[in-house]
Chains A and B, each alone.
Chain A
Amino acid sequence: MTTASESESRRIVENAGIPVSRWKVASNPDEALNAAREIGFPSALKLNGPSIAHKTEHGFVKLNLKTEPDLLNAAKELLENEVNDSNLIVTEMLSGSREVIAGVVRDPQFGPCVMFGFGGILAEAIADVEFRLAPITSYDARDLISSLKTNGLLEEFRGEEALDIDATIDLLIKLGELAEDEQILSIDLNPLIIVDGLPIAADALVELKGETT
């Protein structure tokens, strides 16, 4: 098994038609600055490379960089980690107070499965997620969403729009199609931030079959 870099992971899910936050790869602080100017501030900066999972735990993520000096400093700091075969990825900071999680996993009994549920830092503690076997129909996806215990949290909330159910169904169907690719062992879209009702992946992690290339 090999963990694809964030940029490769994003490319895989984006090619499948799943919305992700805007992003650009940079190999040095100056390129990162140009990328951030293009994407807009505040932005996020992360170390990008294969086999970098759990970026937050390793301190490989700098969020909410508001100014150009902040961004340049963060870029230099990240590159000091000297992780082999890595560069930087600049991403848009999405604004939305609610997060969901979606993904793909291969079950030894049932094969590829699509997951969706309540996300954010409490995701694993709350563990309000549901699975369906890939591929999934729109009925399956709708039933999955409505069977979440906390689905009330996805309705209109403090001036924010309710989760767009049709867009979410579309996303889950596309994840299900990706899950049928046997090269893909797992996908994490964690978190997806709800922006104007639409779930957009702020991070993507894909695990692929075979050795690191």
Chain B
Amino acid sequence: MTVDLKYLFEPKGVIVTGVSSHPGKFGSVALHNILSCGYEGKVFAFGREEATVLEQKVITSFDSIPSNEVDLMILCTPVGVNEELVRRASEKGIKAIFCAAGGYSETGEEGLKAEKRLVALAAELDLVLAGPNGQGIVSPPASLCAQIVAPYAPKGRIAVVSQSGNFVSSFLNYANQTGIGISRSVSAGNAAAIEIVDFLEWFAIDPATDVALCYLEGLEKGRDFFERVKEITKKMPVVLVKGGTTTGGQRAAASHTGSLASDSKIFEGMARQAGITRAPNIESAFEIAATFATQPLPDGPRVLVLTTAGGWGVVTADAISQSSDLVLTPLPRDLEETINELLPPRWSKNNPIDLAGGETRDTIPELLSTASKHPEIDSIIQLGLGIQGNTANLVKNGKFYPEHGLERIVNFHEHQEKRYAEASVEASLASGKPILVASELATTQPNNPMVRNIRDLNRLCYASADRAVSALNHLVRYSSWRNQSN
């Protein structure tokens, strides 16, 4: 059954424990992050000594906290005092605890006992317990940055859960870089009570979330994970990076099947069967999740490549033909005839559609609109944008600008880039099909007007065609899986 986690991510008030006048203490950092990222609920800072920290009065008992106005407590206090604090907070009506404090099962036998006591206490008091030994929670829809590390992230549709707190930070760093934002993020810590799959289950019913992004190291209950995740992926894509290996144990060794079985092989098979989108590394995991968050799901594998010039289209076609799930579809005859009317005869007349420089100011928007509506095309990869923006940038920084009519031409180039970016997103939204724009300018020239416009429209500009092909491949595979499972 799905554990209700709304009090973790949408609390109406927060208590932070372990706050002191030392600004480097975890409690003080968490308090700082909550207060400075715009959280609007009531915030109470609890510490051993009365003080004023970050213009906030530090309380030394919960007596002054009104009942039922605080849902969440962030524990940054030592193991020895936490159980007492949980009891006192429960009396004030809190519903959820994030235990950032360490010193639990990760430290050995004594810590494990304390962790078990904490879990039992939370169960007794009917409290949701996340952690211990985690970095915290970030929930941009609630303007909440309740974590002992940076960064905060822009609001978006990706929910992150990680067994490593540092990878939460990595994903949030990418969110800041790309502008593709986060709905929730949580560092699961020791996951003593609330496990990774509990978070995933709640994300699947969370209206703020469209896709989950997960870093996983070990699993305790593999079969249970599988049975639950394959229900989750029917509602929402789950992008997963797996680190390390799961505990193996003994399999029937006399059999060939047993000797061919390895943890990674079985995990891989399980992941495909559960509809999990498995990413090879952190960077591509974010990019794939960001693609799910910003593009419609394709209905099928047929890709059209649209390029302003030759080489880009050729290597993209190569990448598509080497992909596992994509098809470089033959150019439909009626579409070819339509394009003949838009372009001089030197265009490629096949897929990739290579405009060969024959386009006029309106060709690309018209082509995108027409091609995206075609029933034999499921998705489009668009290449060669940003050339005019590149020219504009060089001219702008040159010594002749803005004289000699250069201001006018720069404005034209920039305007065209804006139109192309808008046309791409509009065609995608109107047709309900993914349209991915790829250009190295995404990283080599982030201030290129094309790149900026794509970003402002809340989409990714992929740094290479290979990366766009890889992300699209995952969308197609997931879409196929979801169609069979529903």
Contact = CB atoms under 8 A, between A and B. Distances in A.
Q: What does DSSP make chain B's interface, helix, strand, loop or mixed?
A: helix
Interface stretch (B183-191, B264-272, B335-343): B264-272
A136 B270 CA distance: 11
A131 B255 contact: no
Given A130-B269, A133-B270, A109 B257 contact: no
A1 B219 CA distance: 27
A111 B249 CA distance: 12
B254 A105 contact: no
A115 B250 contact: no
B229 to A, nearest CB: 11
A117 to B, nearest CB: 7
Nearest to A111: B223
A132 B265 CA distance: 9
Interface string A115-140: 10100000110010111110011011
Residue of B249, B261, B265, B269 most packed against chain A (CB within 10 A): B269
Contacts of A103: 255-257, 260
A115 B324 CA distance: 21
Contacts of A188: 255-257
Contacts of A139: 481, 484-485
B258 interface: yes
A139 B484 CA distance: 7
Given A104-B257, A105-B255, A188-B255, A132 B269 contact: yes
A102 B277 CA distance: 26
Interface in A155-213: 185-188, 190, 205, 207
A32 interface: no
B266 A107 contact: yes
Given A108-B251, A130-B268, 7 more contacts: A101-B257, A103-B255, A105-B261, A123-B256, A143-B272, A186-B251, A186-B255
Contact of B252 (A110, A123, A143, A207): A207
B269 A144 contact: yes
Contact of A115 (B260, B270, B481, B484): B260
Q: What does DSSP make chain A's interface, helix, strand, loop or mixed?
A: strand
Contacts of A133: 223, 226, 266, 269-270, 273
Contacts of A24: none
Nearest to A119: B256
B254 A131 contact: no
A107 B251 CA distance: 6
B486 to A, nearest CB: 12
A186 B252 contact: yes
Interface string B187-213: 000000000000000000000000000
B369 interface: no
B444 interface: no
A106 B269 contact: no
B260 A110 contact: no
B260 A129 contact: yes
11 contacts: A1-B254, A103-B255, A103-B257, A103-B260, A105-B255, A107-B266, A110-B270, A130-B269, A132-B272, A133-B270, A186-B254
B176 interface: no
A131 B266 contact: yes
Contacts of B481: 139
Contact of B250 (A108, A123, A131): A108
Interface residues of A, number: 39
A105 B324 CA distance: 27
Given A187-B257, A190-B256, A105 B251 contact: yes
A88 interface: no
Nearest to A143: B272
Contact of A207 (B248, B254, B265): B254
A83 B255 CA distance: 21
A205 B261 contact: no
A109 B260 contact: no
B222 interface: yes
A53 interface: yes
Nearest to B249: A108
Contacts of B222: 107, 109-111
Contacts of A53: 254-255
A91 interface: no
A34 interface: no
Nearest 10 CB-CB pairings of A with B: A103-B257, A109-B222, A108-B249, A131-B269, A186-B252, A186-B255, A139-B484, A110-B222, A105-B257, A131-B266
A107 B222 CA distance: 10
Contact of B261 (A101, A107, A190): A107
Nearest to B261: A105
Contacts of A106: 251-252
B64 interface: no
A28 interface: no
A89 to B, nearest CB: 19
Interface in B213-252: 219, 222-223, 226, 246-252
A101 B259 CA distance: 13
A117 B259 CA distance: 13
Contacts of A111: 222-223
Contacts of B219: 109
